[in-house]
Amino acid sequence: MTHLGNSAGSRDIAYHLHPYTNLKTHETSGPLVIASGKGVTVTDETGKEYIEGVAGLWCTSLGFDEPRLVDAAIRQMRTLPFYHAFAHKSHEPAIDLAEKLIGLAPVPMSKVFFACSGSEANDTAVKLVWYYNNALGRPQKKKIIARQKAYHGVTVAAASLTGLPNCHRDFDLPIQGILHTDCPHHYRFGLEGESEADFATRLADNLEALILREGPETVAAFFAEPVMGAGGVILPPATYFEKIQAVLRKYDVLLVADEVICGYGRTGNMWGSQTYGMKPDILTSAKALTSAYLPLSAVLVSDAIYRACVDESAKIGTFGHGYTYSGHPVSCAVALETLKIYEERDIIRHVRAVAPRLQQGLRAFRDHPLVGEVRGTGLIAGVELVADKATRKPFDPALGVGTKLVSFSHQHGAILRPIGDSIGFSPPLIIDETKIETLLFRFEKSLADTADWLVREGVRVS
């Protein structure tokens, strides 16, 4: 790709500091400039079309040209383009959306706090956990446990919760009081001959041991994604959340469900918590809340937490937390329209109807020599590539096999997500079976190209 003169690509290199990008490589590779979107496809500046196999960043649930969301935004822009929610102010879009979300919650919840991103939602959840325990007169009960390979975002507290080394390294993170326990990936971390249920028991025992080591009076909360997304699409092993929640209850540790990816239908239920029997005290969500058309996140809190916050704010004089754009009216109006569309089109039923095509289609690659594991549920899936199927030996990370496969997939017109050598799939929820077939076909070609490339590189023999 050449980026000459005053092209968008060269101006991008000149002026744009990119998130999650190898900045050095970018100076020569430049960007893939996406110009427009329609349905489940996007088109780049040269006119080449791609199926968006990851819905952008697991988020554009209704695809890239839903006119009702555009109209909802315009209507709200014309009526009240901004108002805030500080100091007892409010507006109808935020009120309606909060009421709607409380009605949709997977367990009884009391109130909704709005922010702009998943990271802000999780930072808010951390602060609520601390505030709650101060309100209850337990100032030492503050530590928070997340999991290795978890992804909870990049703001200071959320990045600390995230269990991926690159989010900590040289950012001087994690902050104090954030702990990480086992990643529940059975394929990678299960012992020889260990069943999923036994693996789950071992992880729950390890969690209990960690809480006891730290002192239960110091441990406040456990954060978990129902399905871990950016860590590699990792599904909880059988009985995992049942056993983990028993430990949390025993030591009075709150559960925060990070539904930023799973929420709003991704796993074939409205919430990943329903898919996996989680009963959270706090639930964070974002992304598909607005089909990503505008930034918005929502933190749902239980009545016990809300009540404690009420008492604490009465004592202090205010609940000293909030963002200028908390409950932005245009984002809330778009979210309300998004939720209306989910209901009218019965998006959950649609996901359940088409998901088997994606899941079975990907499982058909299980016998491929490069494929170690295929995993997924609903419309989220991961395919893990390995150097040796029998021993599950990974490729040398320096080879960048996952990234290479995804660059082949771009050539074949599919955007996928490399997560190390796992390939993430999370298409818009509106995808139909025909487009799933096309996506699978393009993935198959990319996998074949990757196998050929590994032979050319001398990594594998044909």
Ligand X SMILES: Cc1ncc(COP(=O)(O)O)c(C=O)c1O
| Positions that interact with ligand X (CB under 6 A) | 57, 117-119, 122, 151-153, 225, 229-230, 258, 260-261, 286
Strands 34-38 and 422-425: unpaired
Least spacing, CB of residue 167 vs ligand X, in Å: 11
Nearer Cβ to ligand X (283/414): 283
Nearer Cβ to ligand X (60/450): 60
Whether 40 contacts 66, CB under 8 Å: no
Least spacing, CB of residue 228 vs ligand X, in Å: 8
- The C-alpha atoms of residue 58 and residue 288 are separated, in whole angstroms, by 8
Least spacing, CB of residue 117 vs ligand X, in Å: 3
Nearer Cβ to ligand X (256/370): 256
Nearer Cβ to ligand X (135/260): 260
Helix (H) or strand (E) segment spanning residue 355: helix 347-363
Nearer Cβ to ligand X (262/371): 262
- The C-alpha atoms of residue 89 and residue 100 are separated, in whole angstroms, by 19
Least spacing, CB of residue 373 vs ligand X, in Å: 20
- The C-alpha atoms of residue 405 and residue 363 are separated, in whole angstroms, by 18
Residue 349's identity, in one-letter code, is: R
Nearer Cβ to ligand X (260/348): 260
Least spacing, CB of residue 293 vs ligand X, in Å: 14
In degrees, to the nearest 5, what angle opens at C-alpha 399 toward C-alphas 396 and 405?
115
- The C-alpha atoms of residue 56 and residue 68 are separated, in whole angstroms, by 19
**Tokens coding 170:** 């040289």
- The C-alpha atoms of residue 2 and residue 422 are separated, in whole angstroms, by 29
Nearer Cβ to ligand X (93/263): 263
Nearer Cβ to ligand X (30/53): 53
CB atoms under 10 Å from CB of 199, counted, come to 21
Least spacing, CB of residue 151 vs ligand X, in Å: 5
Least spacing, CB of residue 99 vs ligand X, in Å: 23
Least spacing, CB of residue 7 vs ligand X, in Å: 28
Nearer Cβ to ligand X (57/210): 57
Beta-bridge partners for 377:
380
Query: Which of the 8 DSSP states describes residue 180?
Result: E
**Tokens coding 426:** 């999370």
Whether 430 contacts 62, CB under 8 Å: yes
Least spacing, CB of residue 120 vs ligand X, in Å: 7
Nearer Cβ to ligand X (61/117): 117
Q: What is the DSSP string of 4-70?
A: -TT-HHHHHHHH---TTS-HHHHHHH----EEEEETTEEEETTS-EEEETTHHHHT-TT-S--HHHH
Whether 333 contacts 93, CB under 8 Å: yes
- The C-alpha atoms of residue 399 and residue 50 are separated, in whole angstroms, by 25
Nearer Cβ to ligand X (230/416): 230
Nearer Cβ to ligand X (230/415): 230
Beta-bridge partners for 43:
36, 49
Least spacing, CB of residue 138 vs ligand X, in Å: 27
3-state SS record for 287-304: HHHCCCCCCCEEEEECHH
CB atoms under 10 Å from CB of 254, counted, come to 23
Least spacing, CB of residue 118 vs ligand X, in Å: 2
Local structure of 444: helix, strand or coil: helix
Strands 282-285 and 297-301: antiparallel
- Ranked by CB distance to ligand X, the top (closest) residue is 118
- The C-alpha atoms of residue 273 and residue 279 are separated, in whole angstroms, by 7
Least spacing, CB of residue 116 vs ligand X, in Å: 8
